[in-house]
A and B are shown apart, each in its own frame.
Chain A
Amino acid sequence: MSTELIRLKDCVMTFDGETVLKSINLYINDKEFLTLLGPSGCGKTTTLRIIGGFEKPTSGDIFFDGKRVNDLPPYRRRVNTVFQKYALFPHLNVYENIAFGLRIAKQTESEIKSRVGAALELVGLTNFDKRRVTQMSGGQQQRVAIARAIVNQPEVLLLDEPLGALDLKMRKEMQVELKRIQRQVGITFIYVTHDQEEALTMSDTVAVMRGGVIEQIGTPVDIYNEPKNAFVADFIGESNILPGTMHKDFDVTFGGVRWVCVDKGFDTESPVDVVIRPEDIQLVSTDDSPIKGRVLSVTFKGVHYESTIEADGYNWLIHSTKAPNVGENVGLFLTPEDIHIMHKSAGEAKAEGGDSY
């Protein structure tokens, strides 16, 4: 097991009486790739700013290597940041923006030249070194921001939606590049995104946040396969979430049908949320399924078709490679493994910080 590098302990953040972070507990291991994932306004940037030293938690502590660093200014932390709004220096050209940290660190001119050159190449802006940053597109500026942080080879890199302004192809390429650097140089990444696919493909650990609370933290596979509640399940991938009743272990009713499932440990006859992934549902003929529905719409999504099927008052979302016809009557087929039972998430879900992995 790798060693712990950063720990947030009971961090609360309040702005003008409004609580934005409610007791964040989190630890980050050395060389780990941790992603904070959550909807807009859930406190991802604020958490990152506490780690970077731009904000002091209203209460709670932050530790680096076991030492409390609440009062350590950003310039004395071994951390660099790719800011959500880039924050490039408008009076400097691309080269000087990237060289800024190296000059502060009093590197030699030849060292600066080779490292800035490598960073420019990494982000695909090799011939832009003389360009003023104010004369660049949003995506180009974002890449300069990445280069400016990464060129310093910090121990920890904070990235606040670093690929948000890039097109899909460029984003995929940069995802691979960032991951490669993280492994090669051995940097600890704390990454913010609200793109769940990005979070799942890149991270060692994902922390799903909502309203200033970490709802769940774990490996991408755990989070995807065992979401703790309907919010996580829905956020991590489009889902069908139905109300249901858990009668006893392996026995549940939802959608007007009684099913066998693989979950247990719930109170008898307790209300639950049932989550079913759109890609787990198979379309069959009406005779082969207890759930019969009518196709409302079909949309081509590239890799698959997305259809909405109305059955028993609920609109099911289904991903399939074959397209049903609109208006057609179909049956929905589920195996016990496709059924995920969750406790009702009436805001009761407590984040257990880093303890769950």
Chain B
Amino acid sequence: MFAASFRLAFYATAICLLISYPIAYVVSRETPQVQSVFMVLLMVPMWINFLLRTYAWMSILENNGLLNKLLVLLGIGKVSIINTEAAVALGMVYNYLPFMLLPILTVLQKLDRSLLEASSDLGANGVRTFLRVVFPLSLPGVLSGVTMVFVPSVSTFVISKLLGGGKTLLLGDLIEMQFLGNAYNPYIGSAVSIVMMLIVLVCMFVMNKFGDGGEETSMF
């Protein structure tokens, strides 16, 4: 259960990062007008309640839901994705994506253009400038994004309940059951909470070390 929680949170974080970075990179190079339109588009879904959005995914991923209807229409055939780990991971990615995108976008926006010129001046083409200047300088944003996706992912219980159908039991679900569910046992619940918190803290500490103590990453 510990393993499943951390594994899923890890996948969700990695996928969020892979999606967010290219988007943030492209958006950061657009004009301010385009950037603010993008921000609005990103924020609007977040104004809808988190539970409602997850319920919406439930009906999309159902065996007779929107996704499968579309796949049938395209002649691919049905997939059964609801109540699997994949569905849970998808729910996490969807819900927490903005928390990855925003910090990365912010550091990329603040990146000093003259550094890119200096790099080009010293002979580095676009790819090398990205690898040697842009990416290292955006690491603080990446780290805070990773933190802000990983921590809620590892402790979520609503997403796994709704999209995992109770089959994928995560730490969050376990804790919830001890307090609100049938297996009422606040002692075990508290113990698991503490253990989880410690593990998360250790993870964050290690990551912050990597981030060289950049200001953006010092969330604690």
Q: Which residues of A come within 8 Å of B, CB atoms?
A: 52-54, 73-75, 79-81, 83, 85, 87-91, 100-101, 104-105, 148-149, 152
Contacts and interface: CB of A to CB of B under 8 A. Distances in A.
A75 B124 contact: yes
Interface string B153-192: 0000000000000000000000000000000000000000
A152 B119 CA distance: 13
Contact of A80 (B114, B122, B125, B132): B122
B133 A89 contact: yes
A318 to B, nearest CB: 44
Contacts of B118: 81, 83, 87-89
A88 B133 CA distance: 11
B30 interface: no
Contacts of A101: 122-123
A90 B137 contact: yes
Nearest to A52: B121
Contacts of B194: none
B120 interface: yes
* B interface, over-half SS: helix
B119 A83 contact: no
B115 A74 contact: no
Contacts of A100: 119, 122, 124, 132
B121 A80 contact: yes
Nearest to B114: A87
A104 B125 CA distance: 9
A53 B121 CA distance: 8
A105 B117 contact: no
B156 to A, nearest CB: 34
Nearest to B137: A91
Given A79-B121, A90-B137, 20 more contacts: A54-B120, A54-B121, A73-B125, A74-B120, A75-B120, A75-B122, A75-B123, A75-B124, A75-B125, A80-B121, A80-B122, A81-B121, A88-B118, A89-B119, A91-B133, A91-B136, A100-B119, A100-B132, A104-B124, A148-B122
B136 A104 contact: no
Interface in B105-140: 112, 114-115, 117-125, 128, 132-133, 136-137
Contacts of B120: 53-54, 73-75
27 contacts: A52-B121, A54-B121, A73-B125, A74-B117, A74-B121, A75-B120, A75-B121, A75-B122, A75-B123, A75-B124, A75-B125, A80-B121, A83-B114, A87-B114, A87-B117, A89-B115, A89-B118, A90-B115, A90-B137, A101-B122, A101-B123, A104-B123, A104-B124, A105-B123, A148-B122, A149-B121, A152-B123
Interface residues on chain B, size class: 10 to 19
Interface of B: 112, 114-115, 117-125, 128, 132-133, 136-137
A168 B38 CA distance: 51
Contacts of B121: 52, 54, 74-75, 79-81, 83, 149
Contacts of B128: 104
B81 to A, nearest CB: 41
A152 B122 contact: yes
A104 B137 contact: no
Contacts of A54: 117, 120-121
A134 to B, nearest CB: 12
Contacts of B123: 75, 101, 104-105, 152
Nearest to B125: A75
Nearest to A79: B121
A223 to B, nearest CB: 30
A148 B123 CA distance: 12
B131 to A, nearest CB: 11
A152 to B, nearest CB: 7
- Which of B112, B120, B122: most chain A Cβ within 10 A? B122
A152 B112 CA distance: 23
